Amino acid sequence: MYCLSVHRSLLKTSYIHTLAPLFPVLGLQSKSNQAVIKMTSNNGDMTNSWTSSVSEKGEYVRKTTTFRKTVTADGSSGFKAEADRYHLYVSLACPWAHRTLIGRKLKGLEEVLPYTVVDWLLGPGGWNFTDKKPKCSLDTVNNAKFLKEIYKKADADYEGNITVPVLWDKKTSTIVNNESAEILRMLNTEFNEFCATDKQKKIDFYPKDLQGKIDELNDWIFPKINNGVYRAGFATKQAAYDTAVHELFEALDKVEDILSKNRYLTGDQLTEADIRLFTTLVRFDTVYVGHFKCNKKRILDYPNMWGFVRDIYQTGCIAETVDQEHIQNHYQQSHKSINPSGIVAIGPDLDFDAPHGLGK
């Protein structure tokens, strides 16, 4: 999955159906009993974030990613795993991009796969590059000002969403893949020749004997938890919110029960299922509880899940991939229809380094 920036951003103008509750915030006018939004920036590019993904029922419906090619160790896919051939574009705020940074870190690929961090503020024009904020940097690979320029360079006719993460091939000047789940699996197996240590080379987040169990977990954790927080937060009608938030907490209760018996979701081994869950949970209390109205419970209120989060946070320098400043600033400053003032909340104070007592 991905973090959404711009929908059909390369068009001069575009009309998108959305919902009446957004009229006052987005400046919409009704036409034939439908809300129509014409979104153009000063330079003529249409800009949008998540609003184009809201149905007439007020439900947030995530769109599928477009670039789905694969890097392989032997190059049979047309994209051979090589040192410093590929480049990641990420947001430190985005849970989907975060998956790839964790995979890169745990597999010891820091010297092989460099990355660029976009601005945490998702403003007009979409994801942009800046060197004026901590850990953000300018684009030294393509010299782009906005991520949409990189999508345009890869495909001049591209009219889809502009999302992170992006796996860019410097050799062929194109986007290989922008689906985080698939990039994570590439990092897991296809770059083993370049892992920093033999121990990291042997790490397998998707072992054959657990693949069925991992797939089963992903099948309900993605829609109900990973995407569930967005379905709740971006809902524009009460019924849509109610459905999403009840499914979310039913799924969280299920996770809590699993973790009452196991250290990790599949047992005693860290897998991609844990990584995919962690990137949502580590953001939950800081932004999803308040900003997305997922406030029935905090992760802090689930003793097993809170231990699980701290356990993973303290594993293999994963803490270095978590940046709450980016997370809180992005969500609370960028989603003006949810938080019009853009004021960033001060808390909560969470100690991710506190002892968790697991694995001993």
Name 164's bridge partners: 3
Catalytic residue, candidates 89, 115, 158, 230: 230
Is the separation of the CB atoms in 205 and 188 below 8 Å?
yes
The verdict on whether 94 is a catalytic residue reads yes
For residues 180 and 205, what is the distance between their CA atoms, to the nearest angstrom? 14
- What are the beta bridge partners of residue 115? 88
Count of other CB atoms within 10 angstroms of residue 104: 22
Give the list of residues 6+ apart from residue 112 with CB closer than 8 angstroms, or none: 83, 84, 191, 194
Tokens read off for 60: 């947030």
Nearest to 176 by CA among 75, 70, 63: 70
Whether residue 137 contacts residue 131, with contact meaning beta carbons closer than 8 Å, is answered with: yes
Determine which one of 3, 60, 94, 294 is catalytic. Answer: 94
Helix %, strand %, coil % for the chain, to 5?
Answer: 40, 15, 50
Residue 294 annotated as catalytic: no
Does residue 316 come out as left (phi exceeding 0), alpha (psi in the -120 to 50 range) or beta?
left
DSSP 50: S
What's the rounded Cα separation, in Å, for the pair 102 and 99? Answer: 5
User: What count of residues does the chain have?
Assistant: 360
Chain centroid to Cα 47, Å, comes to 19
Give the integer Cα–Cα distance in Å for 276 and 219: 12
Q: Which residues are catalytic?
A: 94, 230
